[in-house]
Structure 1
Amino acid sequence: MKGITKSFAGVPALRGVDFSLRSGQVHALLGANGAGKSTLMKIVSGAYEYDEGTMLFKGQAVRHKSPADAKKQGIHCVYQEVDASLVPQLSVAENVMLDAIGAADSKVWLSPGRQAREAEQILASLQVNIPVKKKVADLSIAEKQMVLLARIVRQEAKVIIFDEPTAPLSGAEADTFFRILSELKHRGTACVFITHRLPEVMEHADYVTVMRDGRNVHSGTVDELSMEGLVTQMLGKTFAEEFPKIPAEIGEVILSINGLKQGRKIKGIDLTVCRGQIVAVVGLVGAGKTEITRILAGAERPDGGEIYMQGELKRFKQPADAIRGGIVSVPEERRRQGIVIQESVERNISLPLLDRISRFSFISRRQEQGLAERTISALGIKTASSKLPVKYLSGGNQQKVAIGKWVEKEADIFLFDEPTKGVDIGAKSDIFRIIGQLAAAGKGIMYLTSELDEGLGIGDIIVVLYDGSIAAVLPRNEATLEKIMYFASGGQEENL
């Protein structure tokens, strides 16, 4: 690929990117969230067309107009969500042979027996032992991944793009994946490996490309740079303090979490939040931030651990229990979980406070309107009217409504999960100001984000997550972007 550019609605996603891939190579593609990695690979795999540049495959100019075009040339993708590529009601054998069964030009009938024999041979060649008559719905994530790989191998793939393939896997399952990756490499398959896990890159990749802000900023063999060098390339050389930080007096401990666990996603989390304190919990995609938020908000149950509010043990069976216990949440998926988009700004703001503004099940319209007007003014929500449906507001103003509905609720802990997702820079600044004011009012804040610079900009304490565990706890005055990225990518304290 030479000089590849791609824009969406006039906003550049790729800016003159060069990228090359060789047979029998494991090529790691790295970059922070939004760097352009996925867009580049979607062009390779035919999901997107490029605007400008040149793409050559085996020396011939190509332009894939669909994923089917790419597959005809032997280019395939394996995503984290393998379920989307498999048919759960069918057997392992049927899924492995699915492309052959469904081929429009196929004139050969494949009997169930032949399907089973061919599937067994392919799986055996990958040293994978999965019963071929078993339904895919009954397999683990790792087994489903192996079935998808077997299907791709049967199609004689020339290029396989792996997007965060080890994120849902346990350590032993990841070992199996890397054994198969090595086998594919020895067969001459070119493998692209998109990941945030730098130890895996250092151990298993041959070549590495780092992207930042839609550009290729580094390409070279994996031994050219250390983990620290890769982190520097991913982040860039400068960090400007652009987040308003309102001073707040830090008081007593409000929330205490001990040994919180949930499956393989959360592996024994210990942390505390004090009055007036902003605890930034940062980690790359898949680190476990959202799972922690949902447990604390009562939306999911933990497998183990304890949650204390002001020294009192709490067990939340549903979100209403958490709200009564003093914990409120602004979730990542605000349009599905944080606001009711068909309802008005006024009604969204009043929903958590209906007990205060109603009597005998009748809502006081005067009180509801007064509450909405106070909140709109305090948070700077831009709306033509408090009666306007929330769906007509910008993303940033929708987020302010999602926050605003809790402002007059007597809560002690505010959970913010990716609060600046999909909002413009002006609204970001307003959201930071609002959070700072809540902290100054004595609220405890947990700010969970994959935007590492935001965590550094707003947090009094930065808790870095990696693979469901706390990798580091950094006081604000000791934290740097390089340190945060290092620990978030799997770096160890003793190697720093």
Structure 2
Amino acid sequence: MPLLDIRSLSLSFGSTRALDAASLRVEAGEIVALMGANGAGKSTLVKILSGVQSADSGEILWKGSPYAPASPAEAARAGVVTVHQSTDVVGIPDLTVADALLLDRFIDGRQPFFLSSASVRRSAARLLTGTGIDLPLDRRFGDLGTADRQLVAIARALSNKAELLILDEPTASLSSLESHRLYALLQGLKAQGLAILYISHRTADLQALADRVVVLRNGRDVGCFARPIDFDVAIEAMIGRALPTTEARAAAAPGTPLLQLRGVTLRPDGVPFDLTLHAGEIVAITGVLGAGKSRLLSTLFGVYPLPSGTMTLAGLPYRPRGPADAIAAGVFMAAEDRHRSSFMPPGWPGASIAETISLPHLSRWYPSGFIDARRENREATKAIERLGIKARGPNASVWSLSGGNQQKVVLARWDAADSRILLLDEPFQGVDVGARQDIIDALRCQRGRATLIATSDPDEAHAVADRVLTLSRHTIETVTHRDTRALPALGDQKEDA
């Protein structure tokens, strides 16, 4: 008897069929990966299992008995705990890690509220015993990186006696090293009998962990693949078509130098480095969290001042005092968190596809101050067609779109005007393989500008870039050219860096 048995589950939102007779089984001590394009029904299925939504039809059996939780708390009491991609709600910034680990117990009264810090620390340490999780218990939760926040969330799930752990894109913001630490932890939990439902767009995750991969498409389960998993076939089942054959692609011939950095540092005590971006070139930067990837992009966009060194853009001095200066100079940036940086809140004016695309260009497109809705709709319609954005039309809310289509809108807003430099911070985060390929193809078509991409995934970096720079301690450590080995970044390689 499976631990979890989902049978013909269906749920509709108006005329949209989010789940269409989907079925899935998970055994104790098994890692099952749930794979699907954005909008395939993965999130809906997780919400039903977590007690956030109810299905229209079908049934769920948990340990052989009907299962229909009315809330996440009820699901957790049954042994089903979800760890979401965003870990902001796992703890309160000013509390310690020990406090965050015990937060559920404080809320439901299992832990006395008035305790000494020493007793809280002892209780938290006991909670971690046998989990294989090591955390700095006295550290402020707000000071933790994403990887440690994930561990806090998992530890809290285990403290609730979870028998099924649902992980939603847990490595989306982790470096390669941190991802492998997570893999080792999950394999250890699996060996203890924990069942894991793992959702990810990264095939590296699934290759490392999954005993089986279940594929959803348009709300239906369209394939189940056991080890050894043929990911080409699984991806074809996921998107309903074969991806184009990936052929070795020569690096783009460098065009005119557009952006030149000489002797720059990203922080006062940093090691100086040089960097040149050429027209028609795609350069990716990778490295562990905190290496300086986002700092470099934000500095180029004028968010942070440059501590030292010089920058020139198209041969002229470049030192933006803020994002407005950067945009006026033709340097555009899509930040990592698209929900916070690129979209107006749900229900607010400006949340449609057309309004989202036009927002950074209002002063140039409409110098009189009167917005031309027809132009907004024209630009959005062109973007929908060019990038294959799945939407009802240009006036659809960006919040109604899947993650991959939202990211296409972010790219479309900066493609709507000519730029010299395009800065993209984690552009493939939470984006399925089909949408990722569409975005890569669109980036390669823009040959008049230089594109600089920051990504924590080395595989993504090498898939899209002509050059890959590895950052460490806020300076360039190595440069890898397409089809060549890693080269030292400084010394003889300074001009190429």
Into which bin does the TM-score normalised by the smaller protein fall?
A: 0.5 to 0.7
Identify the residue that residue 344 of structure 2 maps to in structure 1: 335
- Change in CA separation of 1:96 and 1:419 when aligned onto 2, cut-off 3 Å: closer
- Matched with 2:270 is none
**Conserved in 2, the CA contact under 8 Å of 1:91 and 1:134?**
yes
- Confirm or deny that 1:231 pairs with 2:235: yes
User: Who is 1:194 aligned against?
Assistant: 199
Aligned counterpart for 2:94 among listed residues 76, 89, 110: 89
Paired position in structure 1 for 2:456: 467
| Paired AA for residue 147 in structure 2 | A
Determine the structure 2 residue equivalent to 1:390: none
Deviations 1:115-140 (A, max 9, x none): 43232123242333434343323333
Matched position secondary structure for 1:156: coil
Q: Residue 376 of structure 1 aligns to which amino acid in structure 2?
A: R
Question: Matches of 1:258 and 1:193 in 2, distance apart?
Answer: 42
**2:495 paired residue number:** none
Q: Is the 8 A contact 2:60 2:67 kept in 1?
A: yes
Aligned partner of 1:94: which letter?
D
For residues 474 and 138 of structure 1, what CA distance do their matches in structure 2 show? 32
| Aligned-partner SS, 2:24 | coil
Residues 1:325 and 2:318 are matched in the alignment: no
Equivalenced residues, count: 401
Which residue does the alignment assign to 1:207? 212
3-state DSSP of counterpart to 1:178: helix
Q: Which residue of 2 aligns with 1:425?
A: none
Match of 1:118 in 2: 123
Match of 2:472 in 1: none
Change (3 A) 1:461 1:257: farther
What's 1:420 paired with?
409
Identity percentage of aligned residues = 25
Between Structure 1 and Structure 2, which shows a larger proportion of helix residues?
A: 1
Note closer, same or farther for the CA distance 1:350–1:67 as it changes in structure 2 (3 Å cut): closer
Given residue 471 of structure 1, which amino acid in structure 2 is its aligned partner? Answer: H
Unaligned residue ranges in structure 2 (runs of 5+): 1-5, 245-252, 268-273, 381-391, 399-404, 467-481, 485-497
Is 1:455 equivalent to 2:444 in the alignment?
Answer: no
Gaps of 5+ in 1: 241-249, 358-366, 383-393, 401-415, 422-427, 476-491
- 1:176 paired residue number: 181
- Aligned match for 1:20, one of 18, 21, 25: 25
Q: Which residue is 1:360 aligned to?
A: none
Larger Rg: 1
SS in structure 2 at match of 1:49: coil
Q: Which amino acid aligns with 2:237?
A: Q
Please tell me the residue identity of whatever aligns with 2:363.
Answer: P
- TM-superposed CA distance for 1:70, in Å, is 0.6
CA apart distance, 1:111 = 4.5
Q: Which amino acid aligns with 2:104?
A: D
**Relative to structure 1, is the Cα distance of residues 353 and 493 closer, same or farther in structure 2, using a 3 angstrom cutoff?**
closer
Deviation at 1:59, TM superposition (A): 0.6
Deviation at 1:313, TM superposition (A): 5.7
Quick check: 1:3–1:53 contact (8 Å CA) kept in 2?
yes
Counterparts in 2 of 1:316 and 1:226: CA distance versus 1, 3 Å: farther
Residue number in structure 2 paired with 1:485:
none
1:411-433 C-alpha deviation (Å, 9 max, x unpaired): xxxxx983537xxxxxx9xx79x
Mark the CA change 1:330 to 1:100 in structure 2 (over 3 Å): closer, same or farther: closer
Q: Is the 8 A contact 2:12 2:18 kept in 1?
A: yes
Shift of 1:60: 0.7
Aligned mate of 1:103, from 108, 131, 141: 108
Is the alpha carbon distance of 1:341 and 1:32 closer, same or farther for their aligned partners in structure 2, counting shifts above 3 Å?
closer
Query: Residues 167, 340 of structure 1: CA spacing in aligned structure 2 closer, same or farther, 3 A cutoff?
Result: same
Distance 1:219 1:306 in 2: 55
SS of alignment partner, residue 213 of structure 2: strand
C-alpha distance 7-298 of structure 1, shift in aligned 2 (>3 A) = farther
Q: Report if the CA contact (8 A) 1:97-1:119 is conserved.
A: yes
Q: What is the rounded CA distance, in whole Å, between the counterparts of 1:178 and 1:195 in structure 2?
A: 13
Cα gap change, 1:142/1:262 in structure 2, threshold over 3 Å: closer, same or farther?
A: farther
Equivalent position to 2:161, from 134, 156, 164: 156
